Chains A and B, each alone.
Chain A
Amino acid sequence: MRLAGLIIAAFTGTVLLYSTVDFPAWGDPASPAGTHVSPHYLERGLEETSVPNIVTAVLADYRSFDTMFEATVIFAAGAVCVILLRIFGVHTRDRYYRHLLTGVTIHVIGDRKIPEDSEVFERIDALWVPHDVIISTISRILIPFIQLFALYVLAHGHHSPGGGFQGGVILGASVILMAISTNLRVSLERVGERTVALLAALGLLIYAGTGVLCMLSGGNYLDYGALAEWLPVDPVAARSLGILLVEIGVGVTVSATMIAIYRNLASSGRMDEGL
């Protein structure tokens, strides 16, 4: 069996390596991809969309329809994770509490529990190692800067590398860091499960809504130039603003999806006990 696997892998690898011979050379201006649309994007992109970063212009304007469905794929991935992993309903489960004054840990068996807002007992997770001062302090200092950087990446995607996907992932990562450095319940208090689900859908709604808004303004779907009718700018600047709108939509969806996937993975869908 191992030998058969090796032969199949070696054969596939050889075929793949052999087929790369037909690829155009790296950066070849005479390749099919570099002869028709690429020159147009590179030469006319700035004057048509007023976006200096051509990658962003192609991703969110010329190829906007693709990007919308990329965001939909991410939303679908998050939704599937929730459907597969999330366990709803009552489940009896042992709980652990630490008595804050003495440090004694008690083990409550079954479905009974001490109120969550108790000042004498603190709920702790069985799998979670006790609080580490260094990790929690560093995370508390870092998280606002990470979130600020995420917003910068999202909003500055027109001029530098970045955009909705990267900004959204970094924004989601900051909430994940909060969940890792404290515990899952703290992050659930800050950003609730329902909020995350609504945000994931809202991002896609912003994206698709921008397209519909363009249609209402008399243009094609996702033709941001038509937005100039509503905005006090010329059509070229309107395309830049349209790109910003859809990037915000992508960012909201991606960040919410990342948070939802992490929470379901880390707590096996129970949403009470994190890593």
Chain B
Amino acid sequence: MIWQLDLLILTLVILCAVAVISVRDLLGCAILFGAYSFLMCLLWAVMGAVDVAFTEASVGAGVSTVFLVAAVFRTTRRTKD
């Protein structure tokens, strides 16, 4: 494990996580969540858990982002309350 790389990815993970809950646009949230998943995938790969990294890349960064975007697409721009 390269600690510089580890530190960089961990910082970006936290930045992404804070951005996901602070961004007001839902589509932006979905995309940022995909970026968060991909960074987690990199983190698994750095730690040597390649199988978990693969699963995270395909399920977390890939399909669940598509699901989130599909769900966001069915919402309206402004809330009713």
Contacts and interface: CB of A to CB of B under 8 A. Distances in A.
Q: Do A and B associate with each other?
A: yes
- Of A56, A59, A180, A265, the most chain B CB neighbours within 10 A belong to A265
A26 B58 contact: no
Contacts of B47: 26
A165 B59 contact: yes
B2 to A, nearest CB: 13
Nearest to A59: B51
Given A26-B47, A173-B62, A162 B70 contact: no
Contact of B54 (A127, A161, A268): A161
B66 A55 contact: no
Interface in B39-62: 47, 50-51, 53-55, 58-59, 62
A255 B67 CA distance: 14
A180 B62 CA distance: 14
Contacts of B54: 153, 161-162, 166
A169 interface: yes
Interface in A248-272: 258, 261-262, 265-266, 268
B20 to A, nearest CB: 15
- Of B50, B53, B63, B69, the most chain A CB neighbours within 10 A belong to B63
Contacts, number: 54
A265 B51 contact: no
A161 B50 contact: yes
B59 A261 contact: no
A117 to B, nearest CB: 28
B70 A258 contact: no
Contacts of B23: none
Nearest to A163: B51
A56 B52 CA distance: 11
A172 interface: yes
A170 B70 contact: no
B71 interface: yes
B74 interface: yes
A150 to B, nearest CB: 9
A226 interface: no
Contacts of A53: 51
Contacts of A55: 51
A176 interface: yes
Interface of B: 1, 47, 50-51, 53-55, 58-59, 62-63, 66-67, 69-71, 73-74
Interface of A: 26, 53, 55-56, 59, 127, 153, 161-163, 165-166, 169-170, 172-173, 176, 180, 258, 261-262, 265-266, 268, 275
14 contacts: A26-B1, A127-B73, A161-B50, A165-B55, A165-B58, A166-B55, A166-B59, A170-B58, A173-B58, A180-B66, A261-B67, A265-B70, A275-B70, A275-B73
